């Protein structure tokens, strides 16, 4: 084919695409010159033909192919992958797999070579042929992680057991691959084989237990993994570590097991002020000893003393430290003030307090600071955003030993009179002067600590008084048991404060869970023995779906309707003034929604014309001897769809977080959005209701009616919206079921349930299983649809696209990129749904 013939064929395809899809034509036209310039007209034609075929096979697949082309070319400088992409046409529904394949293929060719990349691709294609979801899971996994540093041989080694599991037990790759990679990387291929064999035995006994085993979600699987991980086992050496405490401090503190799983970052020790929680394994003996002495040092040297914490919160402008039902202090409010810079401040505060404690320990335990320095020298420093904080901490230790220049702001922490509040003040000065430091995430934070150190406030703590806890390890354990027993009784007492951060359950908790920091809640990992709560079945009982048993639990979630006490009449005026321009534009749009098209209204006593069908019925009945009413006319009226909607707002704690723009909080945008939404519906005349929800355990789901169907939008409802605040957690399934019940007496052709949320379904008693409440919410949505109610979720959670499609279905949710868009977008979304 000549170049002119190729160019003519390209133009024909472009014109065809233009007639079918503006987006496909535009995107292809942008990429074509790059392909043609690099590889010639004939190669460009071949590329465009594949783009067209993929687009007609599946629009999303075609878009993924086109939009990732330049990235692939830049990585590998070739088009060898074009034919591979075309192979995805063999099956329907491969768009997600192709979307995952395209961003990786260029880099895979560049680093694995053509032969290695071809092997990676063919393995994935085999899995697509066996099971579409398994093939998609394969391509969604990083090729680099799949290889384990061994190229395509590493992939074959990893997936050979998966082939057998699929053939014999029908275990999908998505249930196997993430756990298997972690096991292989930690214990090698031999350990992987043992792990798979054990999982196969469990699978034979129970499919549910077996799949949880392979996903590393069962204690049995994690236990086996922990047994195989090399290192210094703290449990085996607990007596030695207790004696070291006794030797240096004259007493010791009991040990508990930290909620750490191999592969989840560094193993770190922490404390609740009474018990020292150790990971199952440390890298070596020296780090285990350093960690125990360091954490015990914090307990002994006042970090968790009641008067020290009181002074700290007073310094932060909080009258009293928040205390939960077990009389533990939660640190979250202290850190929440720093918003998105939470972890930056926490690392600086911990650096200061660690320096204070380690300097004091160096006076008690000879050579302690030198050992910290020596341990740090043995470790490979972390990369990324963690490195600057590691370097700062290292420089502070060197400065304390006079091996380097010490930041003069830190010098007061070396004295014997230094206290926790002094570390807090200095940390704030460092925070204000260190805006150039990168903002770390949680993984960066954990990697930034020197060996033996870790976050000082990772869990709620029991405030201590001087002299508390003296005695032998056995006496300390008895004291902890007595404390637990007292706490069990307190769990059953009424709550004084409706804030989840003041009522944290007494299990061992890991994950953010919305407890430390601010922003959108993430799943909480709960381990250890759960203390049983006495449930109170008050309110309306709703069933809850348990995916593990594939059955409903009858009357499991109990919903109580409550009134929101907060009112802010002045806030209404302020919000409406701020959003005036948006409201004006919305009102113009609303005029377009008013009924315009005329439709006949039949069987009337009078009208513009005769209703022929009604007239025939009238004559027939008359001749039969009846005395029918003469409803034989029809007249024309404006036609519109009769719509009723309930706006159900998630009022969990995380709405109190600062907005990402730095101006105000998420709750401010929520209030404005609900007010504009209400004004919009009041203008258009649709039936609507407003409510909020929050939860704290299955028997305490709060449902807050703000405006009922049929009630007017009065000043009280507006003031309630303007005064909304966050509380508790998000048991969404129960709230959806309760909201659907309120449609029972609403007559409308179309009934919408618009759910406004900022995070995933979660509650304090979900057992650390994020899937549990996800699946229950999915079933609640299905029940709503079966009743003729159409749920739609509008979320502020950037990760919403990861879980909302499975819960609400594609096209039935919207992720807002910016919380500031909420007031404008909320009414617009409704108007779009209304006219659909």
Burial class (CB in 10 A: 0-12, 13-18, 19+), 533: middle
Candidate from 539-553, 564-578, 652-666 with smallest mean pLDDT: 652-666
Quick one: pLDDT band at residue 88, thresholds 50, 70, 90? very high
Residue with tokens 């594939």: 550
pLDDT at 587 exceeding the cut of 70: no
Least confident interval from 132-136, 253-257, 628-632: 628-632
Ranges 173-177, 359-363, 569-573, 639-643: which has the least confidence = 639-643
639, 638, 634, 633: which is closest to 601 by C-alpha? 634
Residue-wise pLDDT for 200-210, tens only, equals 888 877 788 88
Centroid of chain to Cα 547: 20
Residue tagged 């129960």 (tokens): 734
How many other β-carbons are positioned within 10 Å of the β-carbon of residue 437?
A: 17
- How far is the CA of 292 from the CAs of 233, 270, 295, 423, in angstroms? 13, 9, 5, 21
pLDDT digits (tens, 9 = 90+) for 91-107: 888 889 999 999 999 99
Q: Is the pTM of this model over 0.85?
A: no
Instruction: Kindly report the backbone phi and psi dihedral angles of residue 648, in degrees, each rounded to the nearest multiple of 5, phi listed first.
Output: -115, 115
At residue 628 the predicted structure's pLDDT band, cuts being 50, 70 and 90, is confident
According to the model, what pLDDT value does residue 588 have? 65
> Parallel, antiparallel, or unpaired: how do β-strands 609-610 and 633-638 relate?
antiparallel
Tokens of residue 740, six digits: 């659907």
| Strands 270-271 vs 525-527: parallel, antiparallel or unpaired | unpaired
Q: How far apart are CA 752 and CA 387, in angstroms?
A: 50
Instruction: Assess whether pLDDT exceeds 70 at residue 523.
Output: no
């Amino acid at each position: 084919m000549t170049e002119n013939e190729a160019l003519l064929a390209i133009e024909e395809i472009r014109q065809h695409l233009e007639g079918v899809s503006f987006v496909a034509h535009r995107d292809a036209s942008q990429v074509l010159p790059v392909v043609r310039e690099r590889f010639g007209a004939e190669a460009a034609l071949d590329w465009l033909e594949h783009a067209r075929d993929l687009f007609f096979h599946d629009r999303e697949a075609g878009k993924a192919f086109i939009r990732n082309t330049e990235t692939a070319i830049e990585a590998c400088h070739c088009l060898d992958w074009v034919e591979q992409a075309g192979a995805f046409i063999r099956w329907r529904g491969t768009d997600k797999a192709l979307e995952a394949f395209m961003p990786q293929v260029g880099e895979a060719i560049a680093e694995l070579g053509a032969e290695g990349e071809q092997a990676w691709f063919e393995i994935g294609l085999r899995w697509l042929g066996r099971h579409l979801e398994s093939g998609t899971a394969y391509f969604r996994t990083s090729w680099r992680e799949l290889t384990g540093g061994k190229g395509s041989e590493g992939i074959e080694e990893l997936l050979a057991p998966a082939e057998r599991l699929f053939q014999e037990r029908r275990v999908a790759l998505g249930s196997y691959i993430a756990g298997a990679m972690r096991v292989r990387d930690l214990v090698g291929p031999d350990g992987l084989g043992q792990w798979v064999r054990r999982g196969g035995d469990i699978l034979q006994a129970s499919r549910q237990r077996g799949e949880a085993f392979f996903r590393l979600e069962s204690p049995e699987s994690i236990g086996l993994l922990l047994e195989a991980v090399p290192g210094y086992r703290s449990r085996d050496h607990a007596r030695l570590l207790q004696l070291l405490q006794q030797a240096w401090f004259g007493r010791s503190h009991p040990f508990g097991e930290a909620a750490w799983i191999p592969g989840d970052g560094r193993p770190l020790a922490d404390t609740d002020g009474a018990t020292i929680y150790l990971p199952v394994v440390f890298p070596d003996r020296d780090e285990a000893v350093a960690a125990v002495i360091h954490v015990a040092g914090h307990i002994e040297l006042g970090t968790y003393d009641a008067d020290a914490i009181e002074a700290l919160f007073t310094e932060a402008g909080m009258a009293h430290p928040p205390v939960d039902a077990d009389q533990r202090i939660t640190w979250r409010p202290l850190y929440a003030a720093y918003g998105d810079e939470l972890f930056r401040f926490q690392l600086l505060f911990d650096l200061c307090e660690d320096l204070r404690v380690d300097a004091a320990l160096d006076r008690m335990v000879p050579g302690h600071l030198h050992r910290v320095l020596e341990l740090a020298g043995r470790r490979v420093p972390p990369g990324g955003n963690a490195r600057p904080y590691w370097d700062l901490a290292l420089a502070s230790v060197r400065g304390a030993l006079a091996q380097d220049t010490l930041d003069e702001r830190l010098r007061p922490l070396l004295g014997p009179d230094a206290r926790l509040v002094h570390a807090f003040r200095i940390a704030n000065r460092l925070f204000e002067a260190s805006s150039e430091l990168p903002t770390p995430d949680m993984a960066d934070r954990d990697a930034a600590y020197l060996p033996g150190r870790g976050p000082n406030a990772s869990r709620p703590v029991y405030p201590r008084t001087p002299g508390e806890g003296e005695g032998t390890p056995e006496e300390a354990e008895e004291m902890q048991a007595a404390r637990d027993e007292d706490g069990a009784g307190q769990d059953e007492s009424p709550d004084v404060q409706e804030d989840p951060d003041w009522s944290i359950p007494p299990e061992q908790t890991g994950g953010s869970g919305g407890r430390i920091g601010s922003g959108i809640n993430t799943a909480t990992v709960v381990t250890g023995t759960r203390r049983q709560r006495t449930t109170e079945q008050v309110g309306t009982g709703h069933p809850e779906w348990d995916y593990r048993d594939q059955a409903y639990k009858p009357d499991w979630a109990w919903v109580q309707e409550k009134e929101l006490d907060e009112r802010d009449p002045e806030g209404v005026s302020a919000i409406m003034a701020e959003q005036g321009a948006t409201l004006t534009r919305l009102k113009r749009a609303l005029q377009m929604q008013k009924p315009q098209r005329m439709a006949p209204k039949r069987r009337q006593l009078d009208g513009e014309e005769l209703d022929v069908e009604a007239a025939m019925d009238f004559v027939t009945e008359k001749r039969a001897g009846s005395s029918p009413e003469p409803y034989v006319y029809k007249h024309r009226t404006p036609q519109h769809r009769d719509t009723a909607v309930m706006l159900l707002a998630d009022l969990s704690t995380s709405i109190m977080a600062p907005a990402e723009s730095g101006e105000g909080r998420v709750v401010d945008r929520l209030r404005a959005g609900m007010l504009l939404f209400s004004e919009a519906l009041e203008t258009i005349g649709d039936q609507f209701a407003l409510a909020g929800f929050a939860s704290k355990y299955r028997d305490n789901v709060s449902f807050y009616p703000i405006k009922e169907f049929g009630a007017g939008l009065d000043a009280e409802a507006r003031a309630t919206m303007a005064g909304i605040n966050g509380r508790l957690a998000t048991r969404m399934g129960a709230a959806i079921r309760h909201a659907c019940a309120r449609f029972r007496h609403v007559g409308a052709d179309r009934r919408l349930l618009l759910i406004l949320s900022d995070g995933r379904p979660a509650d304090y008693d979900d057992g650390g299983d994020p899937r549990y409440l996800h699946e229950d919410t999915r079933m609640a949505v299905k029940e709503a649809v079966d009743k003729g109610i159409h749920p739609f979720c509008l979320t502020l959670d950037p990760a919403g696209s990861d879980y909302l499609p499975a819960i609400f279905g594609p096209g039935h949710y919207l992720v807002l990129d910016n919380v500031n868009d909420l007031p404008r977008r909320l009414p617009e979304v409704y108007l779009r749904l209304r006219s659909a």
